[in-house]
A and B are shown apart, each in its own frame.
Chain A
């Protein structure tokens, strides 16, 4: 900004504005500064509909002028041996809601869904959930033990595991608490916080079935305890049927080895199931005849109902969807042509259809699915339309291949009350203001 503002009069005006803003609350001040900056910077920045701040533009780089980067050389190869995003994309980062958890070691961050395209989440933006921080584990010192009700207990090195024929699959992973802050009311004025505990990657590894066959599960074996090597030694009981159906033991994501945040060097992946069952830093799989009822499947990750009883083993992430553009972070900036875009996903299979409502769910029109439509993966939908200042109540509603239709918030609340924390997959509403600004609302 400062390199754009050159005239002393502008500087004075900015200073005066900043001083005035000091008297305001943070929220008001932000709005004030936004509007003020746009007014002052008439030559450099323009207010857009929806209150978005247009980036300052140096007209010296615009046609018919030859831009600065066309008159010099850029840096050479391996300046960044492992590349990173453009310096103009620094706002595209994971963010957390600090008051959710007691500290940052056992906490969660969210993926900036509002900034992503397609269905793949870049590795550095996959949401984080740790129960005891991120361990740094040398690949050579990591072991996976399979034992319990098996014919031959096995200890695998990473080298061993990579000798097995590998498979690669694109699957979403979602925390069951995604959206959980909004059971009792809308709270989060941002898509990143309402839906960002969600990512989708291409995962590479070995089907757990193959490893279990190698060990030989005894007929009494019905459950598997998966355990992490980190300080929390996170553990979950997984039914054997799931393990034999599609669970993977994963060592790579989106083409490279797992990130430490995602379980390097080894993690479990239970496609379509709540993320915490996909144990990271996986070190042990024990086959047993009963579940273990550990802390993360009793005290946590159980869903309290209005009658005081709680649901256990609520594994599946049911069909869900949300509009990613527009959204609070992506207001509508111009009247006229508008592509409404979003993502849909189901833990039970493929997305079959997504519908969009402009009037809060009174009437619906079908959207188009675009790109890949895969089993238990994010699926992108789109609807091309026009907007001329109408005060929309925008919603999306997904239907999966089992015929399950994403429910309304009222339908969920009528059955589950307001204290179940997890698995809130209801239809989400964005309110579109006449200036194109977007707010998070609930329709009851």
Chain B
């Protein structure tokens, strides 16, 4: 009797203590994680708000922005912000938002200029994010605003003036009102069968690789996908006929020189964006026809063009593809990789 009472007393006390501890822990927090220092936060705190909060010191001009834009941005976004291939169009498109095919650009759609500075600083240029200085971002932001006729040629963009810019579509946004559509759970005679119009699929734009055994559809365009499937078909049929056909393309990887092998990571990280797909008139890796005339000029010429930049018949190669952080040696190795993969 006494023992059991003692037991239950202990249990009660223990329970109370646990409950108390639980409360105390909640109030006092778990104490996990170190206090972040101002320096640690400053290095990562890159966000900008429409009211200008977060903007660093510095200023930018349209004139200096133009040169930087041509070097870092025009390959994808076009010299006038018109966009190359499927890369984003940056300028124009005003008054198209109600049209059948609206063009949503910085000038026609974006509500705040701060977003431009924030985005360029956090993610651009696409192949080398966080490589621009705060000052360079001011210059480029000023130039893109100029391309959109939002600021004049002599405008000076800085941490005070940026928040004062009123974008054309600033008032074009409103908070999500959904649920906006009311359907009801009708079970019978919910529609007139005679009024049902059945529209089939628009043909020819479904990626065809989906239906090819083992295809993982890595092609950069619908056309390329068709090519790829066509090649696979040839190989497959040849095997049925008992013939031997090379699958072509990158089968020669084993034969790459040491230099080319060393250049592969640079290619993957810097060159592939354009040379992987043939974007903006660049010779596509693996496309022997496109590379042959260039290869004939010799490695020294090709490497020189890649390092210093070059304007050709089909497109513009910016110096080091816009990746000025790359060493000459890295560029040379990457050229070797592309050449040897496209013989």
Contacts and interface: CB of A to CB of B under 8 A. Distances in A.
Contact of B205 (A187, A353, A412): A187
Given A99-B221, A103-B273, A304-B97, A91 B214 contact: yes
Nearest to B218: A104
A420 B309 CA distance: 40
Contact of A147 (B41, B86, B115, B126): B41
Contacts, number: 306
Interface string B188-215: 1111110011111111111111110110
Q: Which 3 A-B pairs have the closest CB atoms?
A: A18-B237, A308-B97, A102-B86
A26 B203 CA distance: 12
Contacts of A309: 97, 172-174
B247 to A, nearest CB: 16
A214 B32 contact: yes
29 contacts: A15-B240, A26-B229, A90-B213, A98-B225, A99-B207, A102-B86, A131-B123, A132-B129, A147-B36, A154-B33, A154-B35, A156-B32, A164-B30, A189-B206, A214-B33, A227-B122, A232-B129, A233-B123, A235-B122, A298-B173, A299-B106, A303-B176, A304-B97, A353-B185, A360-B196, A397-B183, A442-B198, A443-B197, A444-B197
A361 interface: yes
B47 A286 contact: yes
B222 interface: yes
Name, among A11, A156, A419, the residue most crowded by chain B CB atoms within 10 Å (CB to CB). Answer: A419
A213 B221 CA distance: 48
Nearest to B184: A405
B213 to A, nearest CB: 7
B258 interface: no
A422 to B, nearest CB: 11
B6 interface: no
Interface in B272-302: 273, 276-277, 279
A214 B30 contact: yes
B120 to A, nearest CB: 9
A27 B208 CA distance: 8
How many chain A residues sit at the interface, stated as a range, is 35 or more
A355 B86 contact: no
B310 interface: no
Interface residues of B, number: 102
A169 to B, nearest CB: 21
A152 interface: yes
A363 B188 contact: yes
B285 to A, nearest CB: 13
Contacts of B277: 103
Contacts of A419: 102
A284 B44 contact: yes
A153 interface: yes
Nearest to A34: B211
B156 interface: no
Given A96-B217, A307-B98, A407-B183, A105 B273 contact: yes
B183 A98 contact: no
A364 B97 contact: no
Contacts of A443: 196-199
A440 interface: yes
Nearest to A229: B44
A384 B177 CA distance: 38
A327 B209 CA distance: 18
A186 B187 CA distance: 25
B254 interface: no
B115 A295 contact: yes
A357 to B, nearest CB: 8
B326 to A, nearest CB: 16
A333 interface: no
A145 B41 contact: yes
Contact of B199 (A147, A294, A444): A444
Contact of B185 (A190, A311, A355): A355
A188 interface: yes
A126 to B, nearest CB: 16
B46 A91 contact: no
A118 interface: no
Interface in A203-240: 213-214, 216, 225, 227, 231-233, 235
Given A15-B241, A286-B45, A310-B173, A316 B178 contact: yes
Given A145-B40, A308-B172, A363-B190, A439 B200 contact: yes
Contacts of A192: 210
Contacts of A303: 176
Name, among A95, A105, A294, the residue most crowded by chain B CB atoms within 10 Å (CB to CB). Answer: A294
Given A288-B49, A361-B191, 19 more contacts: A26-B233, A154-B34, A155-B34, A161-B32, A163-B32, A189-B201, A189-B206, A231-B130, A233-B129, A292-B48, A298-B111, A308-B172, A311-B176, A355-B185, A355-B187, A362-B192, A406-B183, A407-B182, A407-B183
Contacts of A97: 207, 217
A397 B184 CA distance: 10
A299 B32 contact: no
A98 B210 contact: no
B250 to A, nearest CB: 16
Contacts of B46: 233
A393 B183 CA distance: 19
Contact of B210 (A21, A193, A286): A193
Nearest to A157: B33
B174 A227 contact: no
A428 interface: no
B124 to A, nearest CB: 10
A26 B109 CA distance: 40
